C-alpha cells in the first residue's frame, strides 16, 4: 500500500470539567485529527494534541508539513519513522516536529493494523487484556476533592490521580487526606505536581508526603531537571514518577542513566509514536522500571498490552467527546477496544461542531 493523502482537522474537544493545574486551566483540548489514506482504501487514524489553543494552528501545520513527506511512500511504519527522523536531523525532534512525527507514526501503525483487520496490540504480537486504570483529574482543594473521589469510586476505577501545587503545603496535604477519606480502602491515590515547585520546595513537600500511602509523586520538579529528580528519588520513600515529557526514547535513556525516577510513564505522542513507545518499553524492561501511560488512552491501552513492565493506564479522555465508542471499565480495569487498529472512529457531527 502507498500513502496517497494526509488530512488534518483541528478541533477544540470539550472536557466534562476543566482540567486545572498549578500552571493554568484547560477547558477544551486542542487536537489535530489525522487521516492517513492509502491507495488500497485503508485509512489510518490518530490525533495530535497541544495544551494551548494558541499553538493548534502551528501543530496542524507541522503535521501537514511532515505528512507531505510521506506521500507516495509504502505504508511501512518503521521505514516512515526513519525517513522523518532523517529529514528532521538538522531541525531536531523536540517540540512540534517530534509531536507531528509521533502522531503520524500512530496513524501509520493504525493503518497497518486496520489492513490486517485486528487491534493494534495483536499486530504488535500481544493479546488484549484488561489494564488497571486510574481516573486522572485536576487541582482540587480539600472541600472539592471529596466529590471527585466519590465519583472515582462510583465509576469503578482502581485509582485516582489528583494535581497538587497549592501555594502552601498545608493545602496540598489537606487535599490528599480528604481524597483518602472519600476513597476509603478501595482505589489507590497518586499525586502530580506538574513541575510546579522549585527543587528545594519539592524535596520538602515530597518528604512530608512520605507517610501518606501514595502510589507515586509525579513530576515534582521541572521535567528536564534530571539531577533534581534524582535527588528527590534518592531522598524520598514514595516512588517518583516522570516521563510524559520525554521527547523521544533518547531522553528516557538519559533519565534512566541519571537515576531520575522509580517509575516511568512516556507519552506515546511525545515519545515519537508507536515506534518510539516500543523502544521505550524495551528500555523500561531492561531497567526493571514499571511503565505506565500518559493520556492518549486509545493508543496507550493497545500499547500497554505489548509492554513487558506495564503498570497503570491513565484515563484522561481528551478525545472522548468526539469518539464513537465509549471506554469500557470493569473491575477497576479498562478493557481495550477489539476494533481494528487503535479504535478511533469519530462522530462526524461532533467533529464539525467543535472544529477550530
> What secondary structure does DSSP assign to 296-329, as a single string?
-HHHHHHHHHT-TTB--EEE--TTTTTBSSPP-E
Catalytic option among 269, 294, 311, 354: 294
Confidence band, pLDDT 50/70/90 cuts, at residue 82: very high
- Give the rounded percent of residues in the chain with a pLDDT score beyond 70: 100
Query: What pLDDT is recorded for position 132?
Result: 98
Q: What is the pTM of this model?
A: 0.96
- CA–CA separation, 267 vs 265, rounded Å? 7
- In this predicted structure, the answer to whether residue 327 has a pLDDT above a threshold of 80 is yes
Catalytic option among 81, 163, 269, 354: 163
The least confident of 12-21, 187-196, 225-234, 279-288 is: 12-21
Query: What pLDDT is recorded for position 20?
Result: 87
Q: If DSSP codes are grouped into helix, strand and coil, which group holds residue 107?
A: helix
- Contact between 123 and 303 under an 8 Å Cβ cutoff? The reply is no
Domains recognised in the chain with CATH numbers: 3-117+348-353 (3.30.390.10), 122-334 (3.20.20.120)
Kindly tell me the number of DSSP H helices and DSSP E strands found in the chain: 12, 12
- Contact between 291 and 280 under an 8 Å Cβ cutoff? The reply is yes
81 catalytic per annotation: no
- Contact between 39 and 4 under an 8 Å Cβ cutoff? The reply is yes
Query: What pLDDT is recorded for position 21?
Result: 84
Give the mean pLDDT of 299-306.
98
Match 501509520 to its residue by C-alpha cell: 108
Q: If DSSP codes are grouped into helix, strand and coil, which group holds residue 235?
A: helix
- Contact between 48 and 99 under an 8 Å Cβ cutoff? The reply is yes
Strands 159-163 and 131-139: parallel
For residue 316, how far is the Cα from the chain centroid?
8
- Contact between 176 and 189 under an 8 Å Cβ cutoff? The reply is yes
Give the mean pLDDT of 187-206.
97
Per-residue pLDDT reduced to its tens digit, 17-55 = 889 887 788 999 999 999 999 999 999 999 999 999 999
354 catalytic per annotation: no
Query: What pLDDT is recorded for position 24?
Result: 83
Amino acid at each position: 500500500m502507498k500513502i496517497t493523502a494526509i488530512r488534518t482537522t483541528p478541533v477544540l474537544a470539550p472536557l466534562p470539567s476543566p482540567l486545572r493545574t498549578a500552571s493554568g486551566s484547560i477547558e477544551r483540548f486542542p487536537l489535530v485529527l489525522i487521516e492517513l489514506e492509502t491507495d488500497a482504501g485503508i485509512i489510518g487514524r490518530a490525533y495530535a494534541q497541544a495544551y494551548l489553543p494558541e499553538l493548534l494552528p502551528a501543530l496542524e501545520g507541522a503535521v501537514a508539513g511532515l505528512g507531505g513527506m510521506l506521500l507516495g511512500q509504502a505504508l511501512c511504519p518503521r521505514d516512515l519513522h526513519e525517513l522523518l527522523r532523517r529529514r528532521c536531523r538538522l531541525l531536531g525532534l523536540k517540540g512540534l516536529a517530534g509531536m507531528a512525527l509521533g502522531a503520524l507514526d500512530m496513524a501509520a501503525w493504525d493503518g497497518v493494523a486496520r489492513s490486517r483487520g485486528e487491534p493494534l496490540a495483536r499486530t504488535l504480537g500481544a493479546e488484549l487484556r484488561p489494564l488497571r486504570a486510574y481516573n486522572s483529574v485536576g487541582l482540587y482543594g480539600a472541600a472539592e476533592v471529596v466529590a471527585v473521589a466519590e465519583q472515582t469510586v462510583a465509576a469503578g476505577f482502581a485509582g485516582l490521580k489528583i494535581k497538587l501545587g497549592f501555594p502552601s503545603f498545608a493545602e496540598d496535604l489537606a487535599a490528599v487526606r480528604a481524597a483518602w477519606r472519600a476513597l476509603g480502602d478501595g482505589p489507590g491515590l497518586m499525586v502530580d505536581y506538574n513541575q510546579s515547585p522549585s527543587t528545594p520546595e519539592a524535596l520538602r513537600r515530597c518528604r512530608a508526603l512520605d507517610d501518606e500511602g501514595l502510589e507515586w509523586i509525579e513530576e515534582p520538579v521541572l521535567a528536564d531537571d534530571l539531577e533534581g529528580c534524582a535527588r528527590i528519588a534518592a531522598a524520598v520513600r514514595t516512588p517518583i514518577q516522570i516521563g510524559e515529557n520525554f521527547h523521544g526514547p533518547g531522553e528516557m535513556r538519559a533519565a534512566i542513566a541519571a537515576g531520575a525516577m522509580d517509575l516511568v510513564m512516556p507519552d506515546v505522542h511525545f515519545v515519537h509514536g508507536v515506534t518510539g513507545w516500543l523502544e521505550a518499553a524495551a528500555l523500561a524492561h531492561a531497567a526493571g522500571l514499571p511503565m505506565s501511560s500518559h493520556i492518549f488512552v486509545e493508543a496507550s491501552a493497545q500499547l500497554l498490552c505489548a509492554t513487558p513492565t506495564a503498570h497503570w493506564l491513565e484515563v484522561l479522555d481528551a478525545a472522548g467527546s468526539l469518539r464513537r465508542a465509549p471506554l469500557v471499565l470493569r473491575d477497576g480495569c479498562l478493557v481495550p477496544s477489539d476494533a481494528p487498529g487503535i479504535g478511533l472512529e469519530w462522530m462526524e457531527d461532533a467533529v464539525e461542531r467543535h472544529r477550530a
